[in-house]
């Protein structure tokens, strides 16, 4: 069923329909479209378009549809619907009749698709962050294992100066950390909700768009309806993040292909990520790395295509924008796949220490050390550079490395060279000399590696995804909170209360499902409470509690909350995170009244703790410096 047929007296041509319809790719937004529709139904209650009973019927039908879609998303493609929005609406009408036709009141497909796409981008960005963190952890692990392995460094693909394999790993870690930072920044900028912007001029129903945004897990509502429905900056920015990260992955792949070659033989890649030749039985081809290198082009192309699509588009929505999804989906899918494959390739990588050290000693890579030796003897660098160049030519003619020239032979180039030159020319000395910050000196590499490990430890690198909660999470939150309430750990919360407070919640995901939750509740006294902290039974002791509390503390700090407290039967857990025992008598009366039922009915041994911001900052600083 078309959503716009009343204006037309003839049906669309079949070829036009095939050309125009987007269901074949935007079906991936089904979950987001249903979640957004549930939130919109609640907003319609607030402006008296739907009654509470009608809304509950709509939400129940949409929730059933969501379960069905998650179980079998391919069912959507069997429809001839124009797009995912018309498919969801049709399914709703089939379940609740004419009531389903009221849902689109005050809403346009323009703000609907903009909201769906942002919700999808948020979810996908969190998944990509998890892939990035896994790959970063692999580089750190590899750097630690092969810390003592010397590797020839190259410029212009010619041996230049020796480095270490660990230093090489940490170079790519730096790139990935920048990718991580860019992705976080993109997430922060896209965290605005367009729903309620209508087709271009805003909705005619005076609903609270900020509350609507919060119910979907967005930080705030968008500020301008024209921009809201035509903004695709987040699409370009995510594709830009993917593009630059794929540049890094492609460079890494090229290095590993070169290191894996028979000419280098520095590494051997695992059988799990290589293939053989159909003709030559001796071959072991680095296909995974070659595909990463090759797939970078399709990501770059998607970005270029999107930018060209948006160039010179007038405000507000134009059908050109339908081209935003296929390239985005493909680019982010490809980026995620390549990060997972890169992590797999690094897992079983074998390094030929003897071969890399032999290569590092070749190519006169200690020539710079000889020049620095001459400088230390008082010879200007430019003159020293020339002297060493002549010495290298002589050594090449003799077929020996620099360190095998005799003192007499050295003196033919400069009288200042003595026996003390030989310790300077060793591989160990060459590495040790690069002792400034960021150099390959073993102490500097150890410092860099330790710092990297600390930076990763401050983040979540255990596969946990952490994100703002949305209405789709209410069932899981209600289950976890009330499970622990039954065990005397939490104040019980009913569904209506949780839905109203959803913007206060943060959730964690493990194994593809929500397995942790927590919230910060702000009182009008300026005091805030961490409450409803819950972990899915069976998922305890996997770091989710600490991750949640640390993020909730940061959120409170951003809101300039001066006092943050918690009531708990596990004081030791919170004390490790910077909380100190506190007296309930110091809390405002409103707080005590809110907590009284919990303390008396559920936990007589409940203890109050308050965040010591000074201790918390010292703990954070100590973790950073250890």
Segment 52-80 shows an average pLDDT of 93
Split into its structural domains, the chain has a count of: 4
- CB burial class (10 A; 0-12, 13-18, 19+) of residue 317? buried
93 with 115, same domain: the answer is: no
619 — pLDDT class (breaks 50, 70, 90)? very low
371 with 401, same domain: the answer is: yes
608 — pLDDT class (breaks 50, 70, 90)? confident
- The structure's pTM equals 0.79
Catalytic residue from among 9, 156, 278, 583: 156
Measured in degrees and rounded to the nearest 5, phi and psi for residue 451 equal: -60, -40
275 with 373, same domain: the answer is: no
Q: Cα separation of 355 and 391, whole Å?
A: 26
Q: Considering the domain boundaries, does residue 454 fall inside one? A: no
Q: Considering the domain boundaries, does residue 216 fall inside one? A: no
- Classified as helix, coil or strand, 135 is helix
Report how far Cα 301 is from the mean position of its chain's Cα atoms: 22
**Which pairs from 282-290 meet CB under 8 Å and 24+ separation?**
286/256, 286/257, 286/260, 288/341, 288/342, 288/344, 288/345, 289/253, 289/254, 289/256, 289/257, 289/260, 289/345, 290/253, 290/257
The enclosing H or E element of 534 equals strand 527-535
pLDDT above 90: residue 584: no
Counts for the chain of helices (H) and strands (E), in that order: 25, 13
pLDDT for 587 equals: 62
State the CATH number of the domain containing residue 382: 1.10.40.30
> Does residue 521 carry a catalytic annotation?
no
98 with 131, same domain: the answer is: no
pLDDT for 592 equals: 58
Indicate the residue among 302, 330, 353 that finishes a domain.
353
Q: Are strands 563-568 and 607-611 parallel, antiparallel or unpaired?
A: antiparallel
3 — pLDDT class (breaks 50, 70, 90)? low
Q: Considering the domain boundaries, does residue 23 fall inside one? A: yes
Give the structural domain span for 78. Answer: 5-105
pLDDT for 617 equals: 43
Q: Considering the domain boundaries, does residue 479 fall inside one? A: yes
30 with 75, same domain: the answer is: yes
Q: Are strands 220-221 and 267-268 parallel, antiparallel or unpaired?
A: unpaired
Q: Cα separation of 299 and 444, whole Å?
A: 36
How many residues are there in the chain? 626
620 — pLDDT class (breaks 50, 70, 90)? very low
Q: Considering the domain boundaries, does residue 516 fall inside one? A: yes
State the CATH number of the domain containing residue 590: 3.40.630.30
276 with 291, same domain: the answer is: yes
335 with 481, same domain: the answer is: no
pLDDT for 586 equals: 62
Catalytic residue from among 277, 457, 580, 624: 277
139 with 259, same domain: the answer is: yes
Segment 334-350 shows an average pLDDT of 94
Q: Considering the domain boundaries, does residue 441 fall inside one? A: no
480 with 550, same domain: the answer is: yes
445 — pLDDT class (breaks 50, 70, 90)? very high
Q: Considering the domain boundaries, does residue 437 fall inside one? A: no
State the CATH number of the domain containing residue 303: 1.20.200.10
Q: Considering the domain boundaries, does residue 256 fall inside one? A: yes
Q: Cα separation of 543 and 175, whole Å?
A: 27
pLDDT for 274 equals: 77
> Does residue 37 carry a catalytic annotation?
no
């Amino acid at each position: 069923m078309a959503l716009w047929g009343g204006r037309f007296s003839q049906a669309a041509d079949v070829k036009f329909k095939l050309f125009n319809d987007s269901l074949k790719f935007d079906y991936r937004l089904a979950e987001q479209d249903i979640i957004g529709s549930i939130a919109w139904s609640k907003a319609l209650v607030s402006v008296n378009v739907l009654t509470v009973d009608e809304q509950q019927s709509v939400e129940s039908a949409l929730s059933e549809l969501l379960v069905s879609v998650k179980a079998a998303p391919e069912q959507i493609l069997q429809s001839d619907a124009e797009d995912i929005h018309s498919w969801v609406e049709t399914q709703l009408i089939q379940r609740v009749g004419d009531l389903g036709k009221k849902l689109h009141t005050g809403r346009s497909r323009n703000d609907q698709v903009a909201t769906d796409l942002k919700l999808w981008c948020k979810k996908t960005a969190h998944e990509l962050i998890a892939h990035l963190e896994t790959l970063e952890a692999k580089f750190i692990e590899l750097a630690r294992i092969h810390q003592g392995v010397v590797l020839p460094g190259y410029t212009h693909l010619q041996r230049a100066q020796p480095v270490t394999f660990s230093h090489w790993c940490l170079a790519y870690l730096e790139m990935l950390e920048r990718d991580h930072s860019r992705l976080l920044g993109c997430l922060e900028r896209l965290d605005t909700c367009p729903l309620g912007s209508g087709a271009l001029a805003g909705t005619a129903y005076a609903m609270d768009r900020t509350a609507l945004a919060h119910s979907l897990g967005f930080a705030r509502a968008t500020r301008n309806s024209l921009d809201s429905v035509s903004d695709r900056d987040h699409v370009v920015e995510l594709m830009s993040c993917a593009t630059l990260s794929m540049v890094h992955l492609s460079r890494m792949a090229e290095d590993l292909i070169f290191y894996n070659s028979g000419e280098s033989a520095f590494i051997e890649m695992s059988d799990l990520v290589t293939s053989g030749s159909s003709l030559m039985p001796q071959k072991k081809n680095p296909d995974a790395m070659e595909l990463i290198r090759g797939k970078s082009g399709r990501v770059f192309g998607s970005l270029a295509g999107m930018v060209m699509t948006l160039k010179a588009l007038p405000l507000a929505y134009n059908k050109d924008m339908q081209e935003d999804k296929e390239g985005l989906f493909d680019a982010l899918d490809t980026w995620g796949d390549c990060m997972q494959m890169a992590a797999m390739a690094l897992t079983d990588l074998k390094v030929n220490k003897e071969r890399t050290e032999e290569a590092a000693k070749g190519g006169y890579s200690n020539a710079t050390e000889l020049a620095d030796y001459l400088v230390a003897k008082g010879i200007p660098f430019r003159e020293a550079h020339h002297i060493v160049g002549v010495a290298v030519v002589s050594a090449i003619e003799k077929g020996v490395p620099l360190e095998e020239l005799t003192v007499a032979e050295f003196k033919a180039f400069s009288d200042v060279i003595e026996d003390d030159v030989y310790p300077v020319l060793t591989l160990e000395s060459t590495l040790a000399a690069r002792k400034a910050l960021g150099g390959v000196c073993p102490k500097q590499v150890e410092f860099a590696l330790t710092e990297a490990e600390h930076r990763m430890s401050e983040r979540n690198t255990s596969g946990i995804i952490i994100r703002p909660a949305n209405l789709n999470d209410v069932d899981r939150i209600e289950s976890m909170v009330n499970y622990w309430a039954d065990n005397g750990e939490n104040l019980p919360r009913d569904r209506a209360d949780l839905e109203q407070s959803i913007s206060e919640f943060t959730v964690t995901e493990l194994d593809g499902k929500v397995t942790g939750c927590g919230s910060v509740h702000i009182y009008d006294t300026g005091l805030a409470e961490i409450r409803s902290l819950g972990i899915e039974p069976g998922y305890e002791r996997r770091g989710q509690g600490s991750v949640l509390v640390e993020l909730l503390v940061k959120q409170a700090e951003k809101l300039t909350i001066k006092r943050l407290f918690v009531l708990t039967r596990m004081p030791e857990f919170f004390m490790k995170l910077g909380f100190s025992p506190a007296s309930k008598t110091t809390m405002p009366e409103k707080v005590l009244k809110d907590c009284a039922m919990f303390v008396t009915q559920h936990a007589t041994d409940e203890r109050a703790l308050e965040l010591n911001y000074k201790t918390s900052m010292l703990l954070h600083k100590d973790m950073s410096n250890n």
